C-alpha cells in the first residue's frame, strides 16, 4: 500500500543541515517532511570531529559562520540539550615561520568580522599554553570558537523537528523527484509518495544525484576524514586545536578522551560506508605525541571516518536552484559544515518563507558550476582544506 504525504516543504537528507532547516521551518509555521535514507544525523553530521570554529574560514563564509555563532549558545532552548557545546577557544598552530605569516595575514584580513584573534609567537605560545610542546613557530587563538558533540547535537535537531511537528521518515531514501505544476512529487522508501510546494536538497555527499536530476550537476566529490580517539584522560587540553595546512587537529572532550584527526580514510565497496586509514591514523598519533608529551603511555581506543561532500573551490552550494523554482540546495561543505549547518538551516527557512535572506550567500550559488565539464569532478586530496 502506498503511503501518501503532502507538506509545504520536503527535505531530502536529515543531517544537521536538513534537520536544522526542518526545525526552523516548523517554528516558522510550515508543514515539513524530513526524509533520510538511514538514520538522521548518522552520516557526516553525527560522526565529525566536532569542531565549532570560525577561524580559518574563507572571508566569504564568515557572515554565514557568524550567524551560526549566534545560534550555537541557544542549543538548550532549541533542541533541549547543550550538546556539550563550549566556547573553549580554537587555537591554530603554525609549524613554520611561513605558516605563521599566513596566520598573521589571515588575522589582518578578517579583522572587521570581530573574531578577536590573538596572535602568539612561538615562545609566547608555549608560555601561554604550557601543555604544548614540539616545534611551533606561532599560533592564533580565536577565544570564542569552540567544540560540541556531533553524535548528540545532530540527531537532537531531527528529534526536535519531529517534536515540533515535522514528519520524519528514516530509512526512507528519496529515489525520484520531479517538478510539477504546483510544486514537486517525490518517491521515497518502499512505498512513499510525497507532494510538496518547496523542496530542499540537503543530501550531503549524495546530493549531486538530486541536483543532476534537475539538470544542474555540481562537481561534488567525496572525502573521508580519518579520526582517532584515545581513552579518557585527565583534563589538560583546554582548547580545540588545529594546524595551518590542516594536517592535524585535536580536542579533549568533557569525558577526557582526546579526539584527533588528520589525513583521509577510504570508502568500502558500499561507498556509504568508509574506513579510516591506518597510515593516516598513525601519523596523527605521531603528531600527537610530539605536541603533547603528556600523552606518552596513553592508549587509543578507536579509529573512524565519515563521508563528506567536497567541491573544487572549498565552498559549499547554498541557495536556490538555477533551473527549478521552489528547489533549494545546501550541500558540499568540504569538511567544515558542522559549525555553519544551523545557520544554513535558518537561511533555507528564510529562502522558503520570504525568497531572500539577509546573510550573503551569492558566492555559494550552484550556478557557479554551470557549464563546468564533468572532468572537474576529480579533485582529490591535493588541497589543504581544513577539516574541523
Partner 1 sequence: MNETASVVVVGAGPAGICAAKALVAAGLRPVVIDEGLRAGGQIYRRPLVDDGRSATDLYGSEAAKATRLHREFDALLPSIDYRPQTLVWNIADNQLHLTANGVHQRIGFQNLILTTGATDRVLPFPGWTLPGVYTLGAAQTALKAQGCTIGKRVVFLGSGPLLYLVAWQYVKAGGDVAAVLDTAPFAAKLNLLSAIRFDPRLVLTGMSYAARLVRRGVKLHYNVRPTGVDGSQHVEGLNFKSGAKTHSIACDAVAYGFALRAETQLADLAGCPFRFDDRDRTWLPATDDAGRTSCKGIYLAGDGSGIAGADAAEISGELAALAVIQDSGMAADPRRMSVLAGARRRKAKLRDILEKAFPFPQNWFDQIPGATTLCRCEEITVSSVIDTVHGNDLRELNRLKALSRAGMGRCQGRMCSAAMAEILASTQKLKLPEIGRLRAQAPIKPLPLSLHEAGS
Ligand X SMILES: Cc1cc2nc3c(=O)[nH]c(=O)nc-3n(C[C@H](O)[C@H](O)[C@H](O)COP(=O)(O)OP(=O)(O)OC[C@H]3O[C@@H](n4cnc5c(N)ncnc54)[C@H](O)[C@@H]3O)c2cc1C
The residue ranges that bind ligand X (CB under 6 A) are 12-18, 35-38, 42-45, 47-51, 173-174, 202-206, 225, 227, 305-306, 308, 331, 333, 335-339, 341, 387-388
Cβ closest to ligand X, residue 101 vs residue 229: 229
Which 1-60 residues touch partner 1, going by CB under 8 A?
A: 39, 42, 46
Contacts of 62 (CB under 8 A, 6+ apart): 54, 110, 113, 115
Cβ closest to ligand X, residue 137 vs residue 264: 264
Residue 131 found at the interface with partner 1 (CB under 8 A): no
Residue 127 found at the interface with partner 1 (CB under 8 A): no
Among 59, 123, 178, 301, binds partner 1 (CB under 8 A): 301
Distance from C-alpha of 141 to C-alpha of 149, rounded to nearest angstrom: 21
Cα 379-383-385 angle, rounded to 5 deg: 115
How many residues would you count in the chain?
388
Cβ closest to ligand X, residue 183 vs residue 204: 204
Q: Which does 151 bind (CB under 5 to 8 A by kind): partner 1, ligand X, none?
A: partner 1
Cβ closest to partner 1, residue 110 vs residue 288: 288
Residue 164 found at the interface with partner 1 (CB under 8 A): no
Cβ closest to ligand X, residue 45 vs residue 86: 45
Nearest to 95 by CA among 134, 123, 56: 134
x/- mask, partner 1, residues 244-283, rule CB under 8 A, reads -----------x------------xx-----xxxx---x-
Cβ closest to partner 1, residue 101 vs residue 229: 229
Cα distances from 302 to residues 226, 275, 299, in angstroms, run 11, 11, 9
Q: Which does 312 bind (CB under 5 to 8 A by kind): partner 1, ligand X, none?
A: none
Among 14, 83, 89, 155, binds partner 1 (CB under 8 A): 155
Contact 284, 228 (CB under 8 A): yes
Residue 295 found at the interface with partner 1 (CB under 8 A): yes
Distance from C-alpha of 267 to C-alpha of 148, rounded to nearest angstrom: 26
* Least spacing, CB of residue 333 vs ligand X, in Å: 3
Distance from C-alpha of 355 to C-alpha of 332, rounded to nearest angstrom: 22
Residue 132 found at the interface with partner 1 (CB under 8 A): no
**291 Cα distance to chain centroid:** 26
Distance from C-alpha of 236 to C-alpha of 388, rounded to nearest angstrom: 20
Nearest to 224 by CA among 267, 282, 284: 267
C-beta atoms surrounding 209 within 10 Å? 15
- Give the DSSP H/E element, type plus range, for residue 262: strand 257-264
C-beta atoms surrounding 372 within 10 Å? 13
Write out the three cell numbers for 95. Answer: 609549524
Residue 302 found at the interface with partner 1 (CB under 8 A): yes
* Least spacing, CB of residue 37 vs partner 1, in Å: 14
Write out the three cell numbers for 10. Answer: 520536503
* Least spacing, CB of residue 61 vs ligand X, in Å: 10
C-beta atoms surrounding 375 within 10 Å? 8
* Least spacing, CB of residue 216 vs partner 1, in Å: 34
Cβ closest to partner 1, residue 197 vs residue 294: 294
- Site for partner 1, rule CB under 8 A: 39, 42, 46, 151-152, 155, 159, 230-232, 255, 268-269, 275-278, 282, 285-286, 288-289, 295-304
Amino acid at each position: 500500500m502506498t503511503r501518501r504525504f503532502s507538506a509545504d516543504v520536503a527535505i531530502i537528507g536529515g543531517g544537521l543541515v536538513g534537520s536544522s532547516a526542518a526545525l526552523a521551518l516548523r517554528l516558522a509555521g510550515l508543514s515539513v517532511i524530513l526524509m533520510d535514507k538511514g538514520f538522521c544525523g548518522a552520516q557526516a553530521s553525527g560522526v565529525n570531529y566536532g569542531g565549532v570554529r570560525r577561524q580559518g574560514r574563507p572571508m566569504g563564509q564568515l557572515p554565514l559562520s557568524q550567524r551560526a555563532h549566534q545560534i550555537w549558545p541557544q542549543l538548550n532552548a532549541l533542541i533541549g540539550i547543550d550538546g556539550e557545546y563550549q566556547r573553549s577557544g580554537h587555537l591554530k598552530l603554525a609549524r613554520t615561520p611561513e605558516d605563521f605569516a599566513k596566520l598573521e595575514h589571515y588575522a589582518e584580513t578578517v579583522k572587521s568580522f570581530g573574531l578577536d584573534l590573538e596572535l602568539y609567537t612561538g615562545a609566547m605560545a608555549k608560555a601561554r599554553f604550557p601543555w604544548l610542546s614540539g616545534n611551533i613557530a606561532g599560533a592564533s587563538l580565536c577565544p570564542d570558537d569552540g567544540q560540541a558533540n556531533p553524535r548528540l547535537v545532530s540527531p537532537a535537531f531531527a528529534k526536535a523537528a519531529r517534536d515540533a511537528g515535522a514528519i520524519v521518515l528514516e530509512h526512507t531514501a528519496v529515489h525520484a523527484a520531479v517538478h510539477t505544476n504546483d510544486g514537486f512529487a517525490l518517491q521515497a522508501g518502499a512505498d512513499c509518495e510525497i507532494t510538496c510546494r518547496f523542496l530542499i536538497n540537503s543530501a550531503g555527499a549524495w546530493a549531486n544525484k538530486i541536483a543532476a536530476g534537475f539538470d544542474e550537476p555540481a562537481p561534488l566529490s567525496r572525502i573521508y576524514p580519518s579520526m582517532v580517539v584515545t581513552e579518557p584522560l585527565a583534563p589538560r587540553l583546554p582548547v580545540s586545536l588545529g594546524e595551518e595546512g590542516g594536517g592535524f587537529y585535536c580536542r579533549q572532550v568533557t569525558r577526557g578522551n582526546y579526539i584527533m584527526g588528520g589525513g583521509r580514510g577510504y570508502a568500502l565497496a558500499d561507498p556509504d560506508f568508509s574506513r579510516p586509514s591506518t597510515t593516516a591514523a598513525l601519523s596523527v598519533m605521531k603528531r600527537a605525541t610530539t605536541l603533547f608529551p603528556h600523552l606518552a603511555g596513553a592508549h587509543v581506543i578507536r579509529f573512524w571516518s565519515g563521508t563528506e561532500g567536497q567541491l573544487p573551490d572549498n565552498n559549499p552550494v547554498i541557495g536556490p536552484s538555477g533551473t527549478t523554482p521552489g528547489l533549494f540546495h545546501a550541500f558540499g561543505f568540504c569538511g567544515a559544515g558542522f559549525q555553519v549547518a544551523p545557520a544554513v538551516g535558518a537561511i533555507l527557512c528564510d529562502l522558503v518563507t520570504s525568497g531572500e535572506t539577509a546573510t550573503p550567500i551569492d558566492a555559494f550559488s550552484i550556478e557557479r558550476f554551470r557549464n563546468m565539464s564533468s572532468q572537474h569532478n576529480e579533485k582529490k586530496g591535493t588541497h589543504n582544506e581544513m577539516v574541523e
